[in-house]
Structure 1
Amino acid sequence: MSTTAIRIEDVNKIYKASDGREVQALTHIDLNVKKSEFISIIGPSGCGKSTLLRILANLDTPSSGSITWEKSADNIGFVFQDATLLPWKTVYQNAKFPLEVKKIETKENMENLDKLLELAGLKGFEKAYPRELSGGMRQRVAIVRALSYNPDVLLMDEPFGALDALTRDKMGIELLRIWTETKKTILFVTHSISEAAFLSDRVIVMSPRPGKIDEIIDINLPHPRTVEMKETIEFVNYVKKLREVLG
């Protein structure tokens, strides 16, 4: 049985609105995330998906409840919807930037960075600048950057949301390939039901605000996953089930 990477217990989040009202974004979130598991989180806009990720990334704090980590809560990678690359730095310089900031440019980490760039299909583009890359390639750089310091958990907030459908499919395959190689624990926020079903071991379906977990759906599709798999009755049934839960 897989060990637990993150245990989220009765997490609630209340914001103060500009008019002084209290707005509950999350209510009674309970979730056990297993090590090396790929979990997608879906739900209507404003249901607290990104808020939950921000809390896990220490970019926000819960109003109540607790989060227990198998290892350090500081060793987290975060990939945003926009790649947020530094335009004056090359692919290689952007990818290794966290290693510079953390002052951990060890031989082992630099060798690992080279492996990640190759794994992400970026070999030969190390000297290119962000303006010279497609949207999908910029997101690959962002993923490599987030993995460069070997985080235990990778948090991804709609990282493919701005991509066209074809590029999005390709990036999904690339992400699964990287996940298979690195064995990272991934929590992935998306608005796409199909994307969630295709990528995940489990899909968390959240309710409208205040966001709570309505249901957790296990996705028992074989690996490696291929685009052709989306045409199978098993995949179609998972998508149908998720739509039904979302209402």
Structure 2
Amino acid sequence: MSSTAIRIENVNKIYKARDGREVQALTNINLNVKKSEFISIIGPSGCGKSTLLRILASLDKPTNGVIDWENSADNIGFVFQDATLLPWKTVYQNVKFPLEVKKLATKENLANLDKLLELAGLKGFEKAYPRELSGGMKQRASIVRALSYNPDVLLMDEPFGALDALTRDKMGLELLRIWQETKKTILFVTHSIAESVFLSDRVIVMSPRPGKIDEIIDIDLPRPRTVDVKETPEFNQYVKKLREVLG
């Protein structure tokens, strides 16, 4: 697994409904995720995108199947749709919190935290409280918090879903900049086809429930990417193809 960060093999997930019925959320998920790869996962609502991330984050368990990690399954960061910052803590206290919980607040890690805050454009806002931040700034703080303990893999569950279109575009550029700097492996759930094409090396298309992988599309667009790439015929061909796959 020298170039593989995660190997997902024959993963299934069955939930027990309140009325006792069995509901299959995921069926036969197979995927190899390469180190430092940016993968987006798209599909209709209820197809199991978030369930797959929760299983990878050990917040849920597969009914059966195998997930192999090159490194520890514990060394991951998770960014939710809501920034979930603690309102009584400052930006710095929020992003430092995982280091304190994991007892990793070493001099080296705190110095790296300062670099991440600068990289995310939050330098000078360390003493601000969440109520004083814009939606985009809250999400950037959430990303820094997830990166604070240097995880191997970053899982992102529709992190820009609650943002307006302009802020969402800016956050996409910010995320790409941070990714290019940190070389993290990222799995990114989104409902936006254009966003998935813009960000990703590959796009995973999932079927309606029970969720399975319908198709995997390689995105062969040059990096680093700017918003100008969205005006190219190649970009729009990928968007068109993904729309066709989604039906």
* TMscore range, shorter length: over 0.9
Whole-Å separation in 2 of the counterparts to 1:137 and 1:153: 22
- Aligned-residue offset at 1:178: 0.2
Report if aligned partners of 1:78, 1:156 keep a CA contact under 8 Å in 2: yes
Deviation at 1:228, TM superposition (A): 1.3
Q: Distance in 1 between matches of 2:104 and 2:211?
A: 38
Query: Partners of 1:97 and 1:221 in 2: how far apart?
Result: 37
- 1:224 is paired with a residue of what secondary structure? coil
Structure-2 residue corresponding to 1:6: 6
- In the alignment, structure 1 residue 192 sits paired with structure 2 residue 159: no
> 1:152 & 1:12 partners in 2: Cα distance?
24
Contact (CA 8 Å) 1:2, 1:34: kept in 2 or not? Answer: no
Does 1:213 find its partner at 2:213? Answer: yes
What is the CA deviation profile of residues 179-211 of structure 1, one whole-angstrom value per residue up to 9, with x for unaligned ones? 000000000000000000000000000000000
Structure 2 residues without counterparts, runs of 5 or longer: none
SS at match of 2:78: strand
Secondary structure in 2 matching 1:5: strand
Percentage of matched positions with identical amino acids: 87
8 Å contact kept, 1:5–1:185: yes
Q: Does residue 140 of the first structure (1) align with residue 153 of the second (2)? A: no
User: Mapping of 1:147-226 within 5 angstroms?
Assistant: 147-226=147-226
Task: Letter of the 1:80 partner, please give it.
Answer: F
Who is 1:73 aligned against? Answer: 73
Unaligned runs of 5+ in 1: none
Assess if the C-alpha contact under 8 Å between 1:154 and 1:186 holds in 2. yes
Q: What is the alpha-carbon distance in structure 1 between the residues aligned to residue 101 and residue 73 of structure 2?
A: 18
| SS of residue paired to 2:29 | strand
8 Å contact from structure 1 (residues 81, 157) kept in 2: yes
d(CA) in 1 for partners of 2:232, 2:91: 38
* Per-residue CA distance 1:76-100 (angstroms, 9 max, x = gap): 1000000000001011110100001
Equivalent AA in structure 1 for residue 116 of structure 2: L
Superposed CA offset, 1:127-176 (max 9, x none): 10000000000000000000000000000000000000000000000000
| 2:89 alignment partner in structure 1 | 89
Query: What TM-score do you get using the length of structure 1 for normalisation?
Result: 0.99
Letter in 2 for 1:9: E
Determine the C-alpha separation between the residues in 2 that align with 1:104 and 1:64.
33
Q: How many residues align?
A: 247
Q: Name the SS of the counterpart of 2:239 in structure 1.
A: helix
Pair 1:54-2:49 in alignment: no
RMSD: 0.9
Per the TM alignment, residue 2 of structure 1 is displaced from its structure 2 partner at its CA by 7.0
Counterpart of 2:183, as a letter, is: K
